[in-house]
Structure 1
Amino acid sequence: MKQQVIDYELASPGAQELLTSSRLAHLAYVGKDDTPKVIPVGFFWTGAQVVISTATTSPKVTALSARPDVAVSIDAGDSPDQARTLSIRGRASVEIVEGLTGEYLAGAGKIMDTEALAAFERNSRNMYDQMARIAISPSWVRYYDFGAGRLPHFLQKLADQNSP
C-alpha cells in the first residue's frame, strides 16, 4: 500500500515536471555536529532515486554515511497560485566512484547545450578523480499544487471547514 502511494505521488505530471526539469532541490539532513542542515543541491532523477553527486570531501558525505535519513524538497512558482512542491523523505546511500558519476553529467545536461556540456565535462574530469554518489530512495512522497487546490491534508481540512 505504501509503495502505491509513493508511485501515485511520483507519477503526477506536476511531480514529474519538478523531478525532470528543476535545477535545484533542498536537501535536509542531520550534520556531524547533530544539528539540522538544509542545503541547495543539484540533482538528477533516475526514475527511482534522487541522485546528488558531490566531492568526496563534502561534509554531507560524512554526515549521510552516519545518518542516512533525509528529506528533499523541490519547489517552483513565484506566486501563491503557481506554488508547487514535491516533498520526499527517504534514506541516502553513499558510494564513492572513480571519476564523474553519470548523473552529474546528466543533471548538467538539463541546463546546458552540447558545447557548454562538453566544456563542463572536460573541466569536471580535470577536477574530480572521484565523486560521492548520494542516492536517495523515497520512502514517503507528497506532491502539492497550491494553485490547483492540491494542498497538505491539514490545509485542505481547514479550507473545507471554512468554505461557505
Structure 2
Amino acid sequence: MDAQEIADELGQRGAQELLVTPVAHLAYTVGDGTPRVIPVGFFWTGEQVVIASATSSPKVATLSARPDVAVTIDGDGTAGARALSIRGRASVEIVDGLVEEYVMAARRSMDAETADRFVEQCRKTYVHGMARIAITPSWVRFYDFGAGRLPRFLQELVEAAG
C-alpha cells in the first residue's frame, strides 16, 4: 500500500474519529510463534500510533525482536459498526521519565485536575523511564459497515447477490 492510499484511509472522517478514542488492540507474535492481542492505550501523532509501557513489560522485549504488528481500533460501541485496521512495524525506544504521548493521551481523556494527579502518580511509578512504542502504518483499512465501506470480499458478495 503506498503512502497516498494510507493517507486516504486515515483521512476518512470515521477513521479520524476512531484515532482519538482511548483504547486499541495490539496484535503481535511472541517467541514461541503464538499470537497475542492485548488492549492498549494509544495516541495518534498524525503519523504513528504511539503506545507507552513499562520497560519491564514482556511486549517491550518481544516487539524489539519481532516488530511486525497489527492494531485495530473499533471504538467503545458508540461508534457504530466501524473499525480501523492498521499493520506496520513497531520501534521501541526507552525514554527518561514519561512518554510525551502518554501524558497527552491522559490529558485528552481526563479533566485537568484528574489528569494532573494521574501524571504525578505516573512520575512516581515510572522513575526508571518508559518504553515508547511507535508504530508506523504500512497498510490501513477503514471499515464502516453501516455506510457500505466493507472488506473487499464482503463487498463482492453483496454485489454478486444483487
Coarse TM-score class (shorter-chain normalised): over 0.9
What displacement does 1:77 show?
A: 6.3
CA RMSD of the aligned region, Å? Answer: 1.4
DSSP 3-state at the match of 1:51: strand
Asked if structure 1 preserves the Cα contact closer than 8 Å seen for 2:87 and 2:140, the reply is yes
The list of structure 1 runs, each at least 4 consecutive aligned residues, that deviate by more than 2 angstroms after superposition, is 76-79
Q: Which residue does the alignment assign to 2:69?
A: 70
Instruction: Supply the AA of the counterpart residue of 1:151.
Output: L
1:23: Cα distance to partner?
Answer: 1.1
Q: Give 5+ residue unaligned stretches, structure 2.
A: none
- Structure 1 position 57, deviation (Å): 0.4
1:85 aligns with 2:83: yes
The total of aligned residue pairs comes to: 161
Which residue matches 1:17? Answer: 17
**Per-residue Cα deviation, 1:77-96 (whole angstroms, up to 9, x for no partner):** 649x9210000000000000
Alignment of 1:31-42 (within 5 A): 31-42=30-41
Kindly indicate whether the alpha-carbon contact (under 8 Å) linking 1:99 and 1:128 is maintained by their aligned counterparts in 2.
yes
| AA aligned opposite 1:98 | D
Report the AA paired with residue 13 of structure 1. Answer: R
Q: What does the per-residue CA deviation read over 1:21-70, in whole Å, with 9 as the maximum and x for residues that have no partner?
A: x1100000011332100000000000000000000000100000000000
- What are the superposed Cα offsets for residues 103-126 of structure 1, whole Å, 9 maximum, x if unpaired? 001111221000000000110000
Does structure 1 conserve the Cα–Cα contact (< 8 Å) formed by 2:103 and 2:119? yes
Contact (CA 8 Å) 2:25, 2:40: kept in 1 or not?
Answer: yes
Identity of aligned residues (%): 61
1:1-164 matches, cutoff 5 A: 2-20=2-20, 22-76=21-75, 78=77, 82-129=80-127, 130-163=129-162
Q: One-letter code of the match for 1:18?
A: L
